[in-house]
Structures are given as structure tokens and as C-alpha cells.
Chain A
Amino acid sequence: MNPGFTNHFLLPLLRGVLQIAILLLLAPLLPGIVNRVKAWVAGRRGPPLLQLYYDLGRLWNKGIVLSTAASPGHLVGPAIAWVAILGSAMLLPLGPGDALWSFKGDALLFLYLLALARFCTASAALETGSAFEGMGAAREVSFAVLSESALITAILALAVQTGSLSLTGMLAPVPNPSAGLLAAGLFTVLLAENCRVPFDDPNTHLELTMIHEVMVLDHSGPPLAVILHGAALKLLVFALLLAQAVLPLNHLSLLPATGCLLAAMLVITLLVGFAESLLARFAFRRVPLLLTTAFLFCLFALLTAWKGVS
């Protein structure tokens, strides 16, 4: 076979398929770890680590109950949202491995793909005409205004720090003092965007104060499986973003970098689990305050980075 073909086409393709497969397979593990931590702290036996995999398999084979008010968009929405989240994951580098698709300005594409996923889930929720889901969708899109401002500020901070406009370049930070601020800000955004305590409680759907979880009330069967997998993937995406925005992994060689990244993912997941076990959900009116705090963390990270460069 032509070596050029192998080097320029076959190998990247293989690597891409492998990377996507790792992302897809690894994602449902994270909620499993969070649940184990919660069970351990509470002294319960808790669900098995691989519970979400069993759930996904079961849901994929089930029939669905569809609201009479819903249009085909109710089913198409979760599919597009899932592709959008997967797309945003493909733009992220994986420690030593570069991103699957990288160009100048892809950080904004990353941000807007997550927004597209939000548009799809929120409008799929409104399909049923249920007041509960309307509330959830309204809160989702409203609080996202704050978390999106925090995210773009974090991206600006990284851009100033590294002088790059692509995620591959941005997520190779040099060790610097703004990393701590950025970590605090991004971790808060991670909790908010992934329906975690103290913003939301993934354990219950039947509360008037839910945000994300209430939007999936009327989904069942394969679409629900896609939504659950997408949610797990989104947690993975945010954890990857947080870890690589803070840790200078690009200075390490292949194996230590992979090890560090995996350890960082584990630490983040454990932190999410502990936050969930030890904190109570915030009163609703305090959610914007906490998100504004996250924005301020990112803003100060940006100012520190700015001061460091100029």
C-alpha cells in the first residue's frame, strides 16, 4: 500500500475512530463513579458502577410512549443534541492526542455546539405542552446565559494566555497563577451545566425546582437513552475541558500525560460526587448568584492572564 495514503489517511482515520469510541464508551462511567461516591458517603450500598450501561441497553430496546401533542421534533431533538455534544467532544484534544478536527476559532464552535444541544433539548421539552417541562426549559435557557458568559470568559483567558484561538492550542497552558481561578470558575459551570447539586438534583424529576432533569419527563425508550448518554458525554466534555485548561499536560510524554489526564478525570468526578453528597441544593434565587461568582472567577483569571502577558 502507498505509505502516503497510510500516513495521511488511514492512520488519522483509525485514530479518530478509536478516539470517538473511547469517548462514547467512557462517558457513562462518570455518572457511575459519582453515584458510587454518593453511596459511600451516605453509607448505602448504591447502584453498581456500570448501572448506566445497563440502563442504556435496556432503554435502547424498549418501545416508547409518545405524547399526542408532540411533533417528530420531540424525537429528532435529542438525536441532534447528542450529535452536537459529540461534536464538541471531537474538538477537544485528549491529553497527548490532538483534537480530531482543529482550526482557528474552533473554541467558539465548541461553545455554540453546546448551545445547539441546549436549543434542541429545550424545544423538545416544549413539544409536550407540559407546564413542568416549560419551567425546566425556561430555567435551562435562562441560566445558560450566565454559564455561557463564564465559559466565553474562560476561553478568552486561555486565548490571552496562550495566544491561540483553537482549542488544541488553548488547552496547552503554561503553569500560571490564573489556573486556580479558572479551575474554580469552570468547576462551578460544570456543576451547573450538568444538572448537579447545588444547582439541580439528578435524583429526582418530580420537583418544581428542577432545571435539566424536568425537561426529559415525557421522553422514554431510545430517545431517553440518547439523552442520558448525551448527558454523560457532556459531563465528560466539561471534565476534559476543565482538566486540560488547568494542567500543562503538553509538556509530558505520552504515557504520563494519559495517566495524568485519567487521574484528573477521576479527581473531578470524585469532587462532583462529594459536592453532591455534602451540599444541599441551593434556594432557587441563589442560583444566578453562584453562576455570577463563577463568571467572576473566570473574569479574574482573564485579568490575571492579561497582566501576565502585557
Chain B
Amino acid sequence: MSPGCLLSLALAAMVAGTCCAPRWTRLWLGCTVAATLLTLGAAISVLAGGPWEWHGAFPIGGELPHLRADGLSAFFLVLLSVIGLAGTVYSSEYWSPKKHPGSAYPGRVWWNLLLLFMGLVLLCSNGLHFLIGWELFTLCAYFLITRERHLPAVRRAGWLYLAASHASALCLFAFFAAIAARTGSWDLGPLRDHLELAPLFWLALIGFGLKAGLFPLHIWLPSAHANAPTHVSALLSGVAIKMGIYGLMRFSGWIPTPADAGWVVATLGVASAVLGVAFALGQHDLKRLLAYHSVENIGIILIGLGFAMMASRAGQPGWGRLAMAGALLHVWNHGLFKALLFLGAGSVLHATGTRRMSELGGLWRAMPWTAASFALGAVAISGLPPLNGFVSEWLVYLGLFGAVDGLGPGSAAAVPAAILLAVTGAMALACFVKVVGVVFLGTPRTLRAEKAVECGWFMRSPMLLLGGACILIGLAPALFWPALQSAIAAWEPGWAMDVAPAPLLSLGIWNVGFALAAALAATLLLRRVRRNGIARAGTWDCGFAAPTARMQYTAGSFAGIITEWFAWILQPSRHADKITHPFPSRAAFREHTPETVLEKVVEPSAGMVMALSSAMRRLQHGRLQFYILYLVFGLIALALLAFWGGAP
């Protein structure tokens, strides 16, 4: 079937699902799953068979609809449908009408609309319709984030999200309007010969960057992703912020870019990567921590994109292609493992009712499936072989090393970028050892953690699906090269390369061999241990006789060394009771890492604007005689201006 046919079927299924959502759970689930699968099929057929285009006959908002699916939009459409599928199945148990009677049904409607409008944004090839789709999906996401709006924290997060999204939309309105004014039509497409459009890239960078959550425009992201229902967090983190990346990739490919754009994007990428993971280390809330890791991974994607832009300007397809392939593959990979991790965090929240890591611990025993999937996601997001995170980071590294090797333009930037990317990787590893250790290993720290039970199959199977995808991309990366090529060809037509590069094949073979060897070694060791005999005893702990669960290392102390290095930007606030007497009474230690950019920069400056505004309000007091006085002053001023100002 043609992509158009599949997409119209998907649209029909999605609309049917949306109509069923308020009443019939099974029908809703079936229709939505069918819609995501049909979209996946359409995207794959576009990636394999070439672009698809459709012109509508009836104008919407004065413009004829124009849909286009090329390699790049199909690439993102694959991600949307896979994460959408996982999230839909997961939410049917996680956000069930039984647990959330008031909010589950409307939540399903908003969920379906969010999927629908994100798909439309990916397909729209008309500036006006792109903006409408963008605004609609932003609003749907707002209503999903504020599902639990009886909580003040959720309302605050939702408001911040809405404000940031509209700042982004404002930039995009200006961006598309300026393009339309220059070209005389809202229709979008490759416009590389309009060199005068280049400065508009900065507008796109702010608009799409706000959505993508790059540092320092990420202020809305942690609270929104932490406070949304978890399946929504997975979709927001896995796909919605990638819409910003899609925009940046789309328009850096379609309109000409300024000379420095590659540098700026790569620098912002490096800053997002390092600082994102530094902030993540300081978090004690599981979902907030994962949200900061999205900032980090967006940074890695932008490093790849930035260097690809430099290569495109310098005419260096050799390493530019690798950097771009790394950026694109990381879009998929981050979507997969971040959604997996969020769903795992959701299961923990579902079972224990808390997101605070200091109240968890030892969950592997009660929740083995969740623990294993989460650990898999943790290895993947730390960029370790043989899983998918390593493959995409490795491609980005190859791009950077290629830039260094040529000693051409960009090589001076590639050296610090490569070193800081390695630092990011090591810090992400530290952070995820902390999360896995504190949440799932050891002994339960509270009664809540002790009483946890494993989630059901509707929540387990999406995690297994995403975990399987992480393993598949890790073990057979060359399988996905044609999809990457299709997307790269849509970005820079001259760069396509049909056969996968030889190192990628070698890496795939290595990964398979390594996975087999690791499995073999683990089995042999376990068998040996079983044969020799296992005696169970309490943790030795250097002979301490009465250890309690509270004595385990906490998330804060685990990350303490690194957060101390980054205290200059994390600005953690710590409260400790001083011990004064020989026999100390109860003591407490509290640590909190604020969202520094928001609380130390944005809020004070916004407060200043508010203070100025309220000072100005004194002029408006409702006394008529003063208003007349203002009029007289105004007239005098105008008269003086006309008299001396040399008016014609």
C-alpha cells in the first residue's frame, strides 16, 4: 500500500480512537494501536521507497493543505509511532479509569490529539499549517501535563510550560511570517538559493531550541516532565522535545544558514550535554533527574548536528555524514531509552507512590521486570557497548575525530567537544549507577518500598518492547543505515551513501560477539558458583553488627563529589544541624539543587520587570483631573516637537 493510503487509514483509526476514548477502553486501545502501527508502516515505506506528497483541494485558513513525507519527516514519524504505541499500551493500565476516575478519559482524548497533531507537524509543508499544528500539539501537551492540577506543583509546572512554549511559538510565528513575506507564499520546501533568509536561522534556533530544551532555554523542561503523568513524560521526553530537533534539522536543511551557525549549535550542544548531566546528578527526584538527562542528550544530538552543519559549509561529506548520522540515530536512541526509563520510573511511582529516591531501595526483589528493564535502559543511556546509546555516540565521535583529523575548519572546536563528550559520558555513567543502585539495589529504605508489587503486563510489555529495540539497534546498527541515509539525503542531498560504512559493520559484529561472550561468561560463573555452594548471610559491612537500611549510601552522598565540582552553577542549598553537645540530639541534613537558570536568572529579571510595571501603574489612579493634566502635557510636548523638531 502507498504511504498516502496507510496514512489516511491511520488518520481514520486515530479519529475513531479519539471518539471511543471517553467510553470504550478496548476500542480506544485497539484503534490507537492500529493508528500507530499504520503510521509506522507508512513511515517505513517512505524511508524505503522515497518521498510522498499530497496537495489538498480545499483551503484551510486560506491556504491549500500540502503534506509531504520525505526521509527526515519519516524518520521522526517512526519514533513518534513507536513511542506512541508503547505509551498508549502503558497508559491503559497506568492511568486507568479505576485509579484516576475523573482524569483518565479526558486524558485519553488529549493523548490521541497530541499524537495526531505531532504527526501533522511532521507532515505539514505549509508554514501556516505547521504553526497551527505546532500550537495545537503544544496545547494538548499542556492539558496532559496538568492532569493532576489539584496539586500546586503541577499547576506551576504547567504554567511555566505554557509560557515557555508560547515564547517559542512567538519566535516561530516571526520566523515563518518572515519566510512567507520574502518568498511570497506560505509553502515550504528547499529554499537554499534565498541567501537573504540566512539570518532567520537565529529565530528558528531560539524557537525550536526552547522546545528542544537546550541549555539555557531548558527552564520549563524539568518541572513539566517531572509533574506530568509518566506515560506523558515518556512521550514528551522521547518525542515532543525532538520536534524542536526536527525543526532545527528541517530548516537548517531547507534554508541557508549563517556562517557561524554550526559553531553556535555545537557550542550550545556541548553546554547542554555537560550541564544537563551535572544538574541531573544533583537531583533527588527520579523523574526530575531523567528530565535533566533529556537536556544532556539533546546536547549530544546538537553536537552532531552542529558539526554536520560545519561540514556542510566546508564541503566535507566524509565526516559530516557520520556526525549527522550520529545525531539522527541518537534522536531514535534517546527516544527509546528515555521512554523506557520513564516508563520504569512510572512503574516505581505506581508501586510505591513516591518519586523521591531517598525513600526507595531494594526494589529488584519485588519488581524484577521493571528493575531489569530499567537497568538495561541505564546501560544504554550511559552510552555503553553493546547497546544502542554507544552506537550513536560513537558515530558522533567519529564525526568529531574526522574534523580533528582534517585539521580544517572545525578542528579547533572538535577537540574540546570530544573531550567534553567523554566527560559527559563518564558523568552520565556515574548518575545512572547512582539511580540503579539507590532505587533498585540494596535494601528498602521505607515501608512503601518494602510493600511494592510488580506492575501488570500492559505496563511491562511496552518496557520490554523498548528494551528490545535498544538491544536490536545496538547489535545490528547496519540494519538501520538505509533509514539514516534516507534522512541524511533529505537534509543534504549530495551526502547519501548507500552502503553502510565498514566500521559500522565491524562494530555490529563486535557487539554481537561481545554480547554472546558476556552471556556465556555470566552463565559459566553462575554455574560454577552454584556447584561450589552458596551460603546466604547479611551484608558483612566490615563487621558492623546491626546495619539498618537508613545507613545505606544515599543519592546525594553518591553524587556529592561531582556536584561539589559543579557547585558554581548548581548552587545547591544545604541545611545541616550542627552537633554541639557531647551527646547529640536528633540531627537532620537537607540538600536541594534549584533550577539555577530559572531561579537565579529568569525569575529575578522577571521580578524586576514586574516591579517596574507596578511602579508605572501609579500613573493610573482613576483621578480625572490628573488625566486631563497628562493630556495637556502630551499636547505641549507634541507642540514643542512640531515647533522645533523640524517637521515638514
Contacts and interface: CB of A to CB of B under 8 A. Distances in A.
Given A64-B535, A76-B522, A138 B560 contact: yes
B529 A223 contact: yes
Contacts of B377: none
B561 A142 contact: yes
Nearest to B422: A152
B532 A64 contact: yes
A112 B383 contact: yes
A1 interface: no
A62 B532 contact: yes
A176 interface: no
Interface stretch (A25-33, A214-222, A262-270): A214-222
Given A79-B525, A83-B514, A112 B385 contact: yes
B103 interface: no
Interface in B528-573: 528-529, 532-542, 547, 549, 551-553, 557-562, 565
Contacts of B384: 112, 115-116, 119
Interface string B369-383: 001000100010011
A62 B532 CA distance: 6
B316 to A, nearest CB: 15
Contact of A79 (B404, B433, B522, B549): B522
A73 B372 CA distance: 10
Given A115-B382, A123-B437, A217 B503 contact: no
A103 B502 contact: yes
Interface in A109-156: 109, 111-113, 115-116, 118-119, 122-123, 126-135, 137-139, 141-145, 148-149, 151-153, 156
Contact of A129 (B371, B407, B427, B549): B549
B404 A61 contact: no
Contact of A141 (B433, B547, B551): B433
A68 interface: yes
Given A83-B514, A130-B539, A156-B404, A101 B506 contact: yes
B167 interface: no
A134 B552 CA distance: 7
Contact of B379 (A68, A119, A126, A141): A119
Contact of B538 (A67, A71, A133, A309): A67
B429 A79 contact: no
A2 interface: no
B510 interface: yes
B441 A149 contact: no
A66 interface: yes
Interface in A45-82: 60-73, 75-76, 78-80, 82
Nearest to A287: B561
B6 interface: no
A260 to B, nearest CB: 28
A79 B521 contact: yes
Interface stretch (A6-14, A158-166, A179-187): A158-166
Given A64-B535, A65-B535, A131-B552, A142 B442 contact: no
A105 interface: yes
B514 A148 contact: no
A126 B553 contact: yes
Nearest to A151: B422
A73 B375 contact: yes
Interface string B172-186: 000000000000000
Contacts of A105: 394, 397-398, 401, 503, 507
Nearest to B554: A134
A68 B537 CA distance: 6
A134 B407 contact: no
A244 B536 CA distance: 45
Nearest to B386: A116
Nearest to B361: A129
Given A78-B525, A79-B525, A149-B423, A71 B441 contact: yes
B284 to A, nearest CB: 15
A286 interface: no
A20 to B, nearest CB: 11
B405 interface: yes
A85 B533 CA distance: 27
Nearest to B543: A206
Contacts of B557: 134-135, 138
B243 interface: no
B430 A132 contact: no
Contact of B540 (A63, A113, A127, A217): A217
A109 B407 CA distance: 23
A76 B525 CA distance: 8
A111 B404 contact: no
Contact of B535 (A63, A129, A142, A165): A63
A221 B529 contact: yes
B568 to A, nearest CB: 15
Contacts of B390: 109, 112
B426 interface: yes
Contact of B442 (A84, A128, A222): A128
A223 B539 CA distance: 16
Q: For the complex, would chain A's binding face be called helix, strand, loop or mixed by DSSP majority?
A: helix
A156 B518 contact: no
A66 B557 CA distance: 25
Given A141-B429, A145-B427, A165 B539 contact: no
A138 B430 CA distance: 8
A272 interface: no
B433 A149 contact: no
A46 to B, nearest CB: 26
B542 A113 contact: no
B279 interface: no
Contact of A69 (B362, B432, B517, B558): B362
Contacts of A160: 404-405, 407
A13 B438 CA distance: 44
A67 B540 contact: yes
Contact of A156 (B418, B537, B553): B418
Given A105-B503, A113-B385, A302 B525 contact: no
B437 A83 contact: no
Contact of A75 (B398, B430, B526, B533): B526
Contact of B503 (A86, A104, A132, A226): A104
Contacts of B405: 159-160, 163, 165
B358 to A, nearest CB: 13
A149 B562 CA distance: 14
B526 A152 contact: no
B433 A119 contact: yes
Contact of B536 (A66, A104, A159, A217): A66
B425 interface: yes
B511 to A, nearest CB: 9
B542 A115 contact: no
B506 A141 contact: no
B434 to A, nearest CB: 8
Given A129-B549, A222-B525, A206 B442 contact: no
A203 interface: no
B532 A222 contact: yes
Contacts of B526: 72, 75-76, 79
B401 A127 contact: no
A171 to B, nearest CB: 16
B442 A310 contact: no
A76 B535 CA distance: 17
Contacts of A310: 407
A63 B537 CA distance: 13
B510 A101 contact: yes
Contacts of B362: 69, 129
7 contacts: A108-B397, A119-B382, A131-B553, A134-B553, A137-B433, A137-B437, A138-B559
Q: Which 3 A-B pairs have the closest CB atoms?
A: A134-B553, A126-B437, A129-B442
Given A115-B384, A126-B436, A310-B407, 19 more contacts: A64-B529, A64-B533, A80-B518, A109-B394, A112-B385, A113-B385, A123-B441, A128-B539, A129-B442, A134-B557, A134-B558, A138-B434, A145-B423, A145-B562, A148-B426, A151-B422, A156-B404, A156-B415, A160-B407
